[in-house]
Amino acid sequence: MAQFEFYINDNDRIKLVNFILSKRTNIIPDLLYESKKYRILEDTEDFNNCMKNRDIRYFLLDSSYASEDLNFLEVLIENKTKYKISQRVGGPYLDLVFYLGHAEDSTIPYKRSELDFYSKFIHLNSTDEFKASVELKAYYSQIVKFIKSQCRSVKKNGKNYWISNEVLQEISIDLD
């Protein structure tokens, strides 16, 4: 699994969401749905509402790399059937996560974000796997490049962390 971790504030998150939306990428919240129809964020107001509801995980689905739709799993909750998007099935897609807080003993005392994708996905209505496409990897690299343009690489405890310039002004950390 390719994974890029970074630390950005709410303003930076809005910039990132706007960048993704400007590419006409579908941003789909990872929620329990009433039907097998997922929600697509239209704008940053939609994103802000999701974050207020503590919906932190999103699927990024773009026509440049997605060859299949996403799949749903049925989940029974309090005698009601709900639907959840199935991990690794269909797509392929990118995962984007915006955590809401951090542990007291975190190396970087700030909420973390991550962008990642699986190396293999499973075809819809099949058990056959397929590799993440070159197009997905190229798109991932574009998003990482955008994030890095807003950040600085900081070394702490022998490890590099990508932290936005705004966050570095907000927090105080001892650097190596």
**H or E stretch covering 138:** helix 134-149
Q: What is the pLDDT of residue 82?
A: 95
pLDDT bucket at 152, cuts 50 / 70 / 90: very high
Q: What is the pLDDT of residue 174?
A: 67
Coil, helix or strand for 116?
A: strand
CA-to-CA distance for 28 and 93, rounded, in angstroms?
A: 10
pLDDT bucket at 159, cuts 50 / 70 / 90: very high
Q: What is the pLDDT of residue 176?
A: 52
pLDDT bucket at 1, cuts 50 / 70 / 90: low
What counts of helices (H) and strands (E) characterise the chain? 4, 12
The tokens 């990132």 sit on which residue?
16
The beta strands (E) that lie in the chain are given as: 2-7, 26-29, 32-33, 57-61, 70-77, 80-90, 94-98, 113-117, 120-122, 129-131, 151-156, 159-164
* % of the chain beyond a pLDDT of 90: 85
- pLDDT tens per residue across span 82-119: 999 999 999 999 999 999 988 888 889 899 999 999 99
- pLDDT tens per residue across span 3-23: 999 999 999 999 999 999 999
| DSSP single-letter state for residue 53 | T
